[in-house]
Structure 1
């Protein structure tokens, strides 16, 4: 997923992804606010399952009735269409509040972890013996916001819709990798005939695979597995007001600016084991100034008491809010931030390796407002700490994920005959931290012998600019978070050569290497899930050590703040987002 990234990585496959990955480095001091805390590994987030979770979810005793919660953020979702949603913020908003899926993640306060439970479906799905067929049974009593019944055919249509990558880009692509005919079917808008991979019988929805897929229960938690009635779908406009099946529905949406949610009167808590409807509504305000929104929440007066942000707090505000830690939520996320190096434009391995030494890690983090040790720590492997099968290695000998060495960078550029090689990357002109990070990057790259050319974008457009093949850039700064705790959510989802050229640029490095694609096929087609665990760790090391298509710029964590009357806000450690589905206003 893209971090505020396609978890993508929000992090915020968003604020953080945007700010932190557009940074450059140097040396750091020891006065970081995060040095007093230890960083917890987040790669195993969401590994727990509870197929027996029962509805309704209890409303906490301390919750008041009614009121509105306000969410301020410096970033803006690029889409709220369920099929396209793949950044951590867009998936959290939709899945927690608006559109239900076959399964869902819910916060477990006992373990301080997210766990997978049923949602629209009565259980977590029933696979056949070799995981090539999964059946989900839809609950009775489900309705849309207009009072009409949710049907199994609507879920089947939503699944077919995920194949329409040309019309609806940027969503996850596991369906093309695993589902029957996923490599040829183009969705209901282009292929008018029936799709054999999804069948409906009564309330049962059966999905057939072209290769074993043991993680379908996790995949079914994404907004792509909601219900969409075909008769009410217009792919150009559906994201402006997706039909709600959750506790809240769209009242007003201004893309890039704001989203207002109100109660969905047809949501029945007796059908939902993972959500409550304790507040009257939600007010999301996007593209806000970081300093101003933090100042509002920290001052905690009036409506600020019911206000929160999902942006990581800056160092200065962290020091202030640390005196009132009940209003600070910290935790992990299974995210790695990277500079994706476009293999079609930076073709020489030595030039790519030079970037690994020129990147000014620590200075970049600080310029972007990261809390070193809390929201950002050095990274080596692509798989984040805690992921099963992860191997600790250094793709560049001596590179520990935080060392900047201009001399090594210059030497590699000289060997390649590429001194002064031009690096072009995006930054947001309307975000002070993005500008500061850009300045740090330029300084670091130039010290390492590169020519640095920042390309202007905005908070509202940077996500779509980043995934545009025609953008005049050769480096894409973003992050990626595990969609579930498995290497399957890292390499087939983002590093398969089959993804190169698809709309939405799901392979942001344009990494297409025959031997690595063959190895992915071997892992997916011939290994058991247990055997694949180690194989993905080996794949990670070989890809980075042999081809170096990405500079790992760190692993992510979260530090979010809220007003004193915001209740139920914990860290969704699968996304690094607030646990919207269980939140309320305290008495």
Structure 2
């Protein structure tokens, strides 16, 4: 399953650290990380990096994204455990997947439809299986209790009530041989992408350790854990003897083993790999190199050839509080957006290897990314135009506002870098650093009275803007008496809410993502948010590592489906 190399430029990543591609199996790859890995349980994984590693090494999912070395190809959805990406009914309330026949667990038993259903069922055991995505609870057609909780309590529940709940689950997640059919409470256009998450992956019931199985690994992928995972140290993944390339259209699995070591500082990891000693030559860093080292890596040709610098999909943005006296007026919100110098923000973060300016919250790698700038401010901002907007709005200047942001050494510099442009345009910003419980602070109803704007960041759960725009700006699912949810600025637009609901039900993926792009343009025009920057990571590898690439759709993490070592 070889893939062609692509040239290195700002939009692609090299396919080899040094030298030509390798398409032969063998060798030991060392993966070095700060960690800690909170869990390897597929229904509990929340870290994007851990999920991406698990999916390429031991955890199979119904669908997944292609391990392409070209960013445009990384958003291609393909079948993994399933033979294809599924078949919906006309109203998108039922999705059917056919499982491959030849996928085996590490003990040689086949992965069955019932294993997938059991894995999904574990998400409902909310007292035992915690921390992971809860999309199954949100979308499956299972009755709810008066308090909103699911009537199904998961596979560990007992008693008469548990039996009734199990019947409801079995109707919503039904097996017929190798055919698995999900019945949803309402139509979901991108359910085939939702099930690319490990939370919808299989678990063998007899191997399930429940709440105690935090780091237990029972593999259906090319590697299995040798012995036990040691928290703070790591573990060794060796070949699953029952995995075959014919059963897996996604993973090449070139190394014989992957030695995962956690508990190492990112600077230590970078220096160890850069030194290229006996161990360093076959090592890769799983954490991004610190900004202080990034410029050195990219300046030295020998190191630059052994590094990748992908976009991560994490976008920093600002949210004007539409309930504050300052930003109720959309013209004042637009003026702030036009005055925002994203270039200065990126420079303060660490420069082009650490981030790149972003007008939109939709990351570059997603199909819904549009690259438009509806307000025409550019990445440096336009203080003259911003001042003109304020003048036409008839507001007294300077316009004083308070901005809450999550404080750390880098953020303090980055947010401060925005102040000059804002002041020149006619604003008087007052920065309010928050050091503890940041997101709990800004989602508290009292925050709407205390702050006029908020800093935030976000990343998609899968390669659709459906996991960005409705969660952050659909007032019908966010704003309640208890607070704004994730719609921190209390942005409300009934027509846009309805447009988002319609867009989610468009069957064709390309048309649906184009619809999300239209929604995003409208949000930008309304001044609902101000995009700042998409974060980048920089990973470095030893000289004997080959096929080095990163997957922007999976979070800008190293691509373990294709990586190899020469010895």
Structure-2-length-normalised TM-score: 0.74
CA contact (8 A) 2:71 2:552 kept: no
1:281 to 243, 246, 258: 258
Query: Any residues of structure 2 matched to 1:145-224 within 5 Å, and which?
Result: 145=106, 149-162=110-123, 171-172=132-133, 175=136, 179-181=140-142, 186=150, 188-189=153-154, 192=162, 193=165, 194-195=168-169, 196-224=171-199
Farther off after superposition, 386-395 or 553-562: 386-395
Structure 2 portions without partners, runs of 5+: 1-7, 14-20
Q: Which residue does 1:543 correspond to in 2?
A: 523
Q: Which residue does 1:11 correspond to in 2?
A: none
Structure 1 portions without partners, runs of 5+: 1-36, 43-59, 429-434
Q: 1:377 and 1:404, CA in 2 relative to 1: closer, same or farther beyond 3 A?
A: farther
Number of residue pairs the alignment of both structures matches: 515
Q: Which residue does 2:100 correspond to in 1?
A: 139
Q: Which residue does 1:16 correspond to in 2?
A: none
Q: Which residue does 1:490 correspond to in 2?
A: 468
Structure-1-length-normalised TM-score: 0.71
Q: 1:406 and 1:436, CA in 2 relative to 1: closer, same or farther beyond 3 A?
A: farther
Query: Any residues of structure 2 matched to 1:413-428 within 5 Å, and which?
Result: 415=395, 421-427=401-407
Farther off after superposition, 558-567 or 344-353: 344-353
Per-residue CA deviation, residues 375-418 of structure 1 (Å, 9 max, x unaligned), is 533222333457556555445x4432332859969979994999
Instruction: Give the 3-state SS of the residue equivalent to 2:67 in structure 1.
Output: strand
**Highest relative contact order (Cα 8 Å, sep 6+), 1 or 2?**
1
Q: Which residue does 2:296 correspond to in 1?
A: 317
How far apart, CA to CA, are the structure 2 residues paired with 1:265 and 1:496? 44
1:403 to 381, 395, 399: 381
Per-residue CA deviation, residues 447-505 of structure 1 (Å, 9 max, x unaligned), is 66333233336xxx99x979986998973532324722x443433454444653899x9
Query: Any residues of structure 2 matched to 1:89-488 within 5 Å, and which?
Result: 89-108=49-68, 113-114=73-74, 115-145=76-106, 149-162=110-123, 171-172=132-133, 175=136, 179-181=140-142, 186=150, 188-189=153-154, 192=162, 193=165, 194-195=168-169, 196-230=171-205, 233=208, 236-250=211-225, 253=229, 257-263=232-238, 265=240, 267-269=242-244, 270-275=246-251, 276=253, 278-285=255-262, 288-290=265-267, 292-313=268-289, 314=291, 315-331=294-310, 336-339=315-318, 348-349=327-328, 356=337, 361-371=342-352, 376-385=355-364, 388=367, 391=370, 393-394=372-373, 397-403=375-381, 405=383, 415=395, 421-427=401-407, 435-442=409-416, 444-445=418-419, 449-456=428-435, 475-481=454-460, 483-484=462-463, 486-488=464-466
How far apart, CA to CA, are the structure 1 residues paired with 2:66 and 2:512? 27
How far apart, CA to CA, are the structure 1 residues paired with 2:71 and 2:513? 24
CA contact (8 A) 1:361 1:553 kept: yes
CA contact (8 A) 1:81 1:238 kept: yes
Instruction: Give the 3-state SS of the residue equivalent to 1:134 in structure 2.
Output: strand
Q: 1:240 and 1:338, CA in 2 relative to 1: closer, same or farther beyond 3 A?
A: farther
| CA RMSD, 1 decimal | 4.5
Instruction: Give the 3-state SS of the residue equivalent to 2:435 in structure 1.
Output: strand
Farther off after superposition, 303-312 or 508-517: 508-517
Q: 1:150 and 1:418, CA in 2 relative to 1: closer, same or farther beyond 3 A?
A: farther
Flag the structure with larger Rg. 2
Instruction: Give the 3-state SS of the residue equivalent to 1:475 in structure 2.
Output: strand
Q: 1:287 and 1:260, CA in 2 relative to 1: closer, same or farther beyond 3 A?
A: same
Q: Which residue does 1:3 correspond to in 2?
A: none
